A = this chain, B = another copy of it.
Amino acid sequence: MKAIVVQPGAGSPVVVERPVPEPASGEALVRICRVGVDGTDYEVIEGSHGGVPDGDDQLVLGHEAVGVVEDANGTELEEGQYVVPTVRRPPAGVETNEYFERGEPDMAPDGEYVERGIVGAHGFMAEYITSPAADLVPIPAELAEWGFLVEPISITEKAIEHARATRSAFDWRPESALVLGTGSLGLLTVAMFATTLDYERVYCLGRKDRPHPMIDIIERLGATYIDSRETPVSEIPGAYEPMDVVYEATGYAKHAFESIDALAPNGVAALLGVPSDWSFEVDGGRLHRELVLHNKAVVGSVNSNRRHFEAAIDTLDALPDWTLESIVTGIYGLESVDRAFPKATARVAAAGHASAGAPDDDTTIKTAVEFRDI
Q: Is the interface of A mostly helix, strand, loop or mixed?
A: mixed
A-B contact pairs, 25 of them (CB 8 A): A104-B171, A107-B171, A109-B294, A110-B293, A158-B169, A162-B297, A165-B165, A168-B168, A253-B284, A254-B284, A256-B287, A271-B288, A274-B292, A275-B288, A277-B286, A278-B286, A281-B282, A282-B284, A290-B300, A291-B298, A291-B300, A292-B302, A293-B302, A294-B300, A297-B297
B-facing mask of A260-282, CB < 8 A → 1, else 0?
Answer: 00001110000111111111111
Copies in the assembly, this chain = 2
**Given A276-B285, A279-B284: A297 and B257 within 8 A (CB)?**
no
The answer to the question of A289 belonging to the interface, with a C-beta cut-off of 8 Å to chain B, is yes
Chain B residues near A279: list those with CB within 8 A: 281-285
* Whole-angstrom distance between the Cβ of A288 and the nearest chain B Cβ: 4
CB pair B253–A285 under 8 Å, yes or no, is: yes
Q: How far is the CA of A207 from the CA of B71 in the complex (A)?
A: 65
Are B285 and A278 in touch, CB under 8 angstroms? yes
Asked if A166 is an interface residue, CB under 8 A from chain B, the answer is yes
A interface residue numbers (CB < 8 A to B): 102, 104, 106-107, 109-110, 158, 161-162, 164-171, 253-254, 256-257, 264-266, 271-302
A162 lies within 8 A of B295 (CB)? yes
A104 → chain B closest CB, angstroms: 5
Measured between beta carbons, the chain B residues less than 8 angstroms from A282 are 257, 279-282, 284
Which of B166, B253, B294 is the one whose CB lies under 8 Å from A166?
B166
Q: Which of A279, A298, A300 has the most CB of B within 10 A?
A: A300
Starting from the known contacts A278-B286, A279-B284, 8 additional A-B residue pairs (CB-CB under 8 Å) come to A110-B265, A277-B289, A278-B285, A280-B281, A280-B282, A281-B282, A293-B302, A297-B299
